[in-house]
Amino acid sequence: MTAPTPPADQIEFPAHKSPLAIFFVVVPTLTIVTIAAAVIQHEMPLYLIALLLLVGGGCIMLAKAAVESLGDVTIDLTGEELVVKRLVGSASYSWSNIESVKTLRPDPTFADIRGEEGTIGIGLFMRNPDKKKEREADAPPDVLIVTRSAEEADKVAKACERISNARRKAMGGGDQRRGGIGSGKPAKAFRKPAVAA
């Protein structure tokens, strides 16, 4: 009988109700409904239907991106990976694939207003074996986990520290085992008396 898996360390960020994100959910949704009604109720040339469907597809992608910034963000720290759960779907990132975790000043997103001072976020910088050139110091993160306003900067900084510690713990276990096996001096000291005997 296997022992139950201990619960993951969890970080929660409550829903961030951004007026900008709400706007970009409502307007594209109304546009999609209008396009569907127009296509169903009226006969149109094929090229016009294709253009409307293209616009509708863009609205769906825009609304999905805005919805993701509205709900709660839950971050699970397990022994093997980092799991980010959002209102729409979730994503997991193996610790071995994460190069570093940093707090940063993110580019504007649906969760904040352009030009807002003090916005802070947590970014993941992923390992890429195909890129041999070093990453630039001001390079954007590969994954932006969460962004918050200046009022929550302390919470974001503490969350980033917890994620970094969890990554070090997950990656450090293997290094310690290799270090213990690789120490040659005690082995030589142990063999000498055996040879002398």
Q: How far is CA 48 from CA 39, 45, 171, 178, in A?
A: 9, 5, 55, 64
Q: Over the chain, what is the mean pLDDT?
A: 79
Q: Please give the average per-residue pLDDT across 87-105, as a whole number.
A: 89
User: Cα–Cα distance between 145 and 75 in angstroms, integer?
Assistant: 9
Q: Are 67 and 129 in contact (CB under 8 A)?
A: no
Q: Please give the average per-residue pLDDT across 84-91, as a whole number.
A: 86
Residue 81 reports pLDDT greater than 80: yes
Q: Please give the average per-residue pLDDT across 16-38, as a whole number.
A: 89
The pLDDT score that the predictor gives to residue 113 is: 54
Share of the chain above pLDDT 70, in %: 76
- Reported as a pLDDT band with limits 50, 70 and 90, residue 122 is very high
The pLDDT score that the predictor gives to residue 183 is: 37
Q: Are 156 and 122 in contact (CB under 8 A)?
A: yes
| Tokens describing residue 122 | 């947590």
The pLDDT score that the predictor gives to residue 136 is: 74
Residue 28 reports pLDDT greater than 90: yes
